[in-house]
A and B are shown apart, each in its own frame.
Chain A
């Protein structure tokens, strides 16, 4: 029988550092809620806004698959492996932190904020060799999904060390999209980027999150319009 969990936008943890405003779906940094630790292998879903010219100074990561999905503006990345890159909407970045990596992330624009999702997935293997990847992704057409992440290097989007699949979706008024779970035991976490959605009778507003598991498939629909991200991840680590 399908199981589900709803995380409304206003129930998320918040952090306001002036230059950085973040909403945390799950416990992160100074926000701790034992009821909101993770959804399966999905451990972090941060909805970040960084002021112009500001950013995260040099800081470390290890043993985590870190995905950045820009929504507005441009984010400049520089890391200890020698990568220097800028990511913008229409691109996705994945970093396997593995045995350890340092990086900086700055808003490339001096005035306008950069807005992006930072998503952390538990890896299926600890202490892998650190790696960085960034690819362009297609803009979803109405009532279609676009795969932006998978476990497979030769598949669409970036790849990570986990049996996870991410799809961006777009629905027009009265549109529907069916989603098939790729791997038995996986669940799906749907995050509404814009608009309103309905899944299994559950209405979702902008920035709401909805996790569903013990299912083989589900249908996303809307009576309005919507842009959303489906994150399929293992429920057991």
Chain B
């Protein structure tokens, strides 16, 4: 949980994936952590629109995009948030998910 101006803020995570049931599972698992707030979208356009409306610390790219789409999405999101952590998610469930976030944040919270 990040603290700014004495107020605790959840780490905002944007998850992009085209497999809606896996996306729902990933969101449920992430949102079980009280320090994290995960939002899911299934398209690049949806991701970019969400980035303009919210401030994210982490972009997690799940399954379903092509290599080119993954690169384009990462590049465009980096233009909006140069300091964002970008994670290519592997595994689709709880196995690696938390370690991927902990490593991106550089800590376990």
Contact = CB atoms under 8 A, between A and B. Distances in A.
Interface size class of A (residues with CB under 8 A): 20 to 34
Nearest to A63: B90
Nearest to A65: B90
Interface residues of B, number: 27
B89 A63 contact: yes
B40 interface: no
A196 B17 CA distance: 45
Given A28-B95, A29-B98, A126-B70, A99 B64 contact: yes
A34 interface: yes
A-B CB proximity, top 9 nearest: A62-B92, A62-B63, A100-B19, A61-B92, A27-B99, A60-B22, A60-B92, A63-B90, A64-B91
A61 B17 CA distance: 13
Given A62-B17, A63-B63, A126-B67, 7 more contacts: A60-B19, A60-B25, A62-B89, A62-B92, A63-B91, A64-B90, A100-B92
Nearest to A59: B93
Contacts, number: 77
Interface string B38-61: 000000000000000000000000
Interface of B: 17-19, 21-22, 25, 62-67, 70, 88-96, 98-99, 102-103, 108
11 contacts: A29-B94, A34-B102, A37-B103, A44-B96, A59-B25, A64-B90, A99-B19, A100-B19, A120-B91, A120-B95, A126-B70
A63 B96 CA distance: 11
Contacts of B22: 60, 62, 100
